[in-house]
Amino acid sequence: MSKVILVAVGGNALIRREQEGTAQEQFENAVETAAAVVRLIRAGHRVVLTHGNGPQVGAQLIRSESAATHAYRLPLDCCVASTQGEIGYVLQYAMWQMMQAEGLNTPVVSLITQVLVDPRDTAFQNPTKPIGPSYTKEAAERYRDHLGWAIAEDPRHGFRRVVPSPEPVAIVELEAIKACVDRGLVVIAGGGGGVPVFNDHDISKGVEAVIDKDHTSAILARQLDADVFAIATDVDHVYLDFGKPKQRPLDSLTIGQCRRYLEEGQFPPGSMGPKITAAIKYLELGGKMAVITDHEHLLQATEGKAGTRIIRDEESG
């Protein structure tokens, strides 16, 4: 039976840990995501794709600062929007080429996506999300004084700019995304968590913040009434004691178990933690099915045959 499947692509989809992150490498790496989407389409499903943009937005900020004496400086919200277009193009190109080779003719579209955030979110009083390059103390203080940046010291990397990371509230372009899905298009949306916006009628400036991409994906999956919220990462299952000799793959996790393991530190904030909390958010909003797996097993995971399912406590019976 045809399903609407939202696939949240992990941050390693285009730039791998051991790579420099060149444009050529990103085009080559996009093939893995494209292949997974094609398998879903061949099975008769409709697909919405979301993605991260951490390395790309960092590079965009470096370009902006390096060229600041020759061209206008790009604010963070514009950098998020431009990387949505950049990454969307790379993924679109890979999917279009692969579909041509497979004899498929499913259109793919990327949508610049704005995400409503609450100006009263406490994150705006406590910026914590590091972005962009590292600076010396002197350079960081200049940016703080001249541009009003919040600066934090990173023991490993010197000083970095930090920005708020508010919770997503709603997807501004939801109806446009729905219209595309209803027409059978593959939609790439919500890139990098979306461009954060206030509904305050102030068009003089954007919101310089970063939204967690997995949490935006959870909201979008629910608002689309997706049948499956699939988080694609670089491991086939969620593991306990990951990376240790006795690591154990999990076929399913209840919300209660997820919360307990999060408290125990099993799912760190920089890796599996946000994926687990996004799956919880989706289910608590009334979502149907949440799975975490790698690209290779994505189709089987949407059928309940692979990966790790996150389920409500009452479903564990």
Q: Which residues are catalytic?
A: 11-12, 129, 213, 275
Strand order in 168-171's β-sheet?
Answer: 168-171, 114-117, 195-197
Strand partners, 153: 159
Q: Which of 215, 219, 225 has the alpha carbon at shortest distance from 178?
A: 225
Using CA atoms, how far apart are residues 59 and 36, in angstroms rounded to an integer? 27
Is the Cβ–Cβ distance between 215 and 8 less than 8 Å?
Answer: no
Q: How many residues does the chain have?
A: 317
Tokens of 62: 């470096």
Q: Name the CA radius of gyration of the chain, rounded.
A: 20
Tokens of 262: 């999060």
What residue ranges in 95-180 does DSSP mark as E strands? Answer: 108-110, 114-117, 129-135, 150-154, 158-163, 168-171
The Cβ of residue 265 has, within 10 Å, a number of other Cβ atoms equal to 9
